[in-house]
Amino acid sequence: MAEVPTEGDVVIRATELSKTYRTGFQQLFGKGGVEALNNLNLDVRRGEVFALIGPNGSGKTTTLKLLMGLIFPTSGKVEVFGANPRTSVDVKKRIGFMPDGPYFYSHLTGYELLAFYGNLLGMPKDEVETRVTELLQKLEMTTRAKQPVGTYSKGMLQRIGLAHALLQNPEIIFMDEPTSGLDPVGTADMHQMVRSMKAEGKTVFLCSHFLTEIEDLCDRVILLDRGRTLQYGDLETLLAERGKMRLRVSALTPAAREQVLARSPHVLEDADTSLQLVVPDGAESYEIISVVRDSGAHLDALTPMRRTLEEVFMESIARQQADAPWQDTDRGLGQIVDRGEN
Ligand SMILES: Nc1ncnc2c1ncn2[C@@H]1O[C@H](COP(=O)(O)OP(=O)(O)O)[C@@H](O)[C@H]1O
Ligand SMILES: [Mg+2]
CATH of the domain at 178: 3.40.50.300
Residue pair 94/82 in contact (Cβ under 8 Å)? The answer is no
Q: What is the pLDDT of residues 16-27, one digit of tens each?
A: 999 999 888 888
Let me know if residue 174 belongs to a domain: yes
CB of 115 within 8 A of CB of 128? yes
Asked if 19 and 66 count as a contact pair (C-beta separation under 8 A), the reply is yes
One domain for residues 221 and 247: no
Domain annotation covers residue 316 = no
Residues 244, 205, single domain; the answer is: no
Residues 74, 124: one domain?
yes
**Hey, what amino acid is at 38?**
N
159 Cβ partners below 8 Å, 6+ apart? 139, 140, 141, 193
163 in helix, strand or coil?
Answer: helix
pLDDT at 291 over 70: yes
Q: d(Cα 204, Cα 74) in Å, to the nearest integer? A: 25
Average pLDDT over the chain reads: 87
pTM of the entire structure?
Answer: 0.82
Best CA proximity match to 275, nearest among 38, 20, 295: 295
Of 23, 26, 61, which is best to mutate to test ligand 1, by the most ligand atoms within 8 angstroms of its C-beta? 61
* Domain-embedded: residue 163: yes
Confidence of residue 4 (pLDDT cuts 50, 70, 90): low
The DSSP code for 148 is B
126 and 178 inside one domain: yes
- Whether 216 shows a pLDDT value over 70: the answer reads yes
Cβ(99) – ligand 1 distance below 6 Å: no
pLDDT (0 to 100) of residue 324: 64
Q: What is the pLDDT of residue 18?
A: 97
Q: Which of 176, 203, 226 is the last residue of a domain?
A: 226
In terms of domains, do 250 and 156 share one?
no
Give the C-alpha separation, 65 to 75, whole Å: 14
**Domain end marker among 226, 259, 274:** 226
Residue nearest to atom 26 of ligand 1 (CA): 57
**Is 108 found in the same domain as 43?**
yes
Distance CA 14, CA 68 (A): 11
Q: Could you tell me if 104 and 221 lie in one domain?
A: yes
Confidence of residue 1 (pLDDT cuts 50, 70, 90): very low
Looking at residue 263, which CATH number applies to its domain? 3.30.70.1150
Inter-residue contact 41 to 16 (CB < 8 Å): yes
Mean pLDDT of 141-150: 93
Query: Are 33 and 169 in a shared domain?
Result: yes
332 lines ligand 1 (CB under 6 A): yes
Same domain for 96 and 22, yes or no, is yes
| Residue 342 Cα: closest atom of ligand 1 | 1
Give distance in angstroms: CA of 42 to centre of ligand 2: 18
The answer to the question of residue 269 being in a domain is: yes
Can you tell me the mean pLDDT for 149-162?
A: 92
Q: Find the 199 Cα to ligand 1 centroid distance in Å.
A: 32
What is the CA(40)–ligand 1 centre distance, in A? 15
Residue closest via CA to ligand 1's atom 2 equals 339
Residue 262's domain spans which residues? 240-306
Half-sphere exposure for 11 (CA within 13 Å, toward CB): 21
Tell whether 147 and 251 lie within a shared domain.
Answer: no
pLDDT of residue 7: 59
Residue 102: pLDDT over 50: yes
Confidence grade of residue 261 (pLDDT, cut at 50, 70, 90)? confident
Q: Compute the average pLDDT of residues 185-201.
A: 93
CB of 58 shorter than 6 A to ligand 1: yes
What is the pLDDT at residue 315? 85
Percent of the chain at pLDDT exceeding 90: 56
Q: Report the amino acid identity of residue 258.
A: E
Percent of the chain exceeding pLDDT 70 equals: 92
> Does residue 26 have its Cβ closer than 6 Å to ligand 1?
no
Q: Is the CB of 21 under 6 A from ligand 1?
A: yes
Residues 80, 162 share a domain: yes
- Report whether 109 contacts 147 (CB < 8 A): yes
Q: Are residues 127 and 271 in the same domain?
A: no
Residue 332 lies in a domain: no
36 Cβ inside 6 Å of ligand 1:
yes
Residue nearest to atom 18 of ligand 1 (CA): 61
Is the per-residue pLDDT at 329 higher than 50?
no
Q: Is residue 326 part of a domain?
A: no
Q: How many domains are there within the chain?
A: 2
Asked if residue 315 belongs to a domain, the reply is: no
Q: Is the CB of 101 under 6 A from ligand 1?
A: no
Residue 45: inside a domain: yes
User: What is the average pLDDT across 41-45?
Assistant: 97
The whole-number pLDDT of residue 242 equals 75
**pLDDT at position 251:** 92
